[in-house]
Chain A
Amino acid sequence: EDQVTQSPEALRLQEGESSSLNCSYTVSGLRGLFWYRQDPGKGPEFLFTLYSAGEEKEKERLKATLTKKESFLHITAPKPEDSATYLCAAPRYSGAGSYQLTFGKGTKLSVIP
């Protein structure tokens, strides 16, 4: 069964304290992996697409990496405005050339001033 597992469930950081979020997956024949940010009361906001193992993407204080079994979202010197829930999702083939996303449960990040 295709699964996406995120850890930790929640993470509290002091402002400026760097850390990493983990996303492990068991989707067969991986065709990309997505990271989203979700603020309270809002829909998921797209951050990154990672296409293949070894790829890295960066945006401001965030860097996403991908291996054959997992992905990491590294947060360098976080600020309070980085507080959000971060979601990981992997596409799985659903037939007729279409793909459906399997989402992890998310990591809730709180950055304390």
Chain B
Amino acid sequence: NAGVTQTPKFRILKIGQSMTLQCAQDMNHNYMYWYRQDPGMGLKLIYYSVGAGITDKGEVPNGYNVSRSTTEDFPLRLELAAPSQTSVYFCASTRTRDSYQPQHFGDGTRLSIL
């Protein structure tokens, strides 16, 4: 029972490089989310998706892009990496948009931009 799987677990990038953080879930959840977690700060929502082909911006979307071509996958793209994007990135999913449905999280990707 994999749940939410994120790859890679760790990555170091140079300033200006690009990369895609992968997220896959096997629970047939329609709603998927990307967060970043900085030391001493709460999780901040970057982008979310309510289903295949539908995405929307969260609280801190600048510098990121997303796509959702399937129910299972929700990749996060960094086009021109900047030191401010050094963070831990978490992907989450939930079955419905009901506010009482808990989100289920992956174990994160730890990204350093040098």
Contact = CB atoms under 8 A, between A and B. Distances in A.
Interface stretch (B66-74, B76-84, B99-107): B99-107
B109 to A, nearest CB: 10
Contacts of A45: 105
A20 to B, nearest CB: 20
Contacts of B31: 98
Contacts of A36: 105
Interface in A42-100: 42-46, 49, 51, 87, 89, 91, 93, 96-100
Interface string B84-102: 0000001010000101101
Tell me the interface secondary structure of chain B in the complex: loop
Q: What range describes how many residues of A lie at the interface?
A: 20 to 34
B42 A43 contact: no
Tell me the interface secondary structure of chain A in the complex: strand
A109 to B, nearest CB: 16
Contact of A32 (B4, B41, B44, B100): B100
A100 B45 contact: yes
Contacts of A97: 97
A41 B107 contact: yes
A98 B50 contact: yes
15 contacts: A31-B99, A32-B100, A43-B92, A44-B43, A46-B103, A46-B104, A91-B100, A96-B50, A98-B48, A98-B97, A99-B97, A102-B42, A103-B43, A105-B40, A105-B41
Nearest to A31: B99
Contacts of A42: 107-108
A31 B105 contact: no
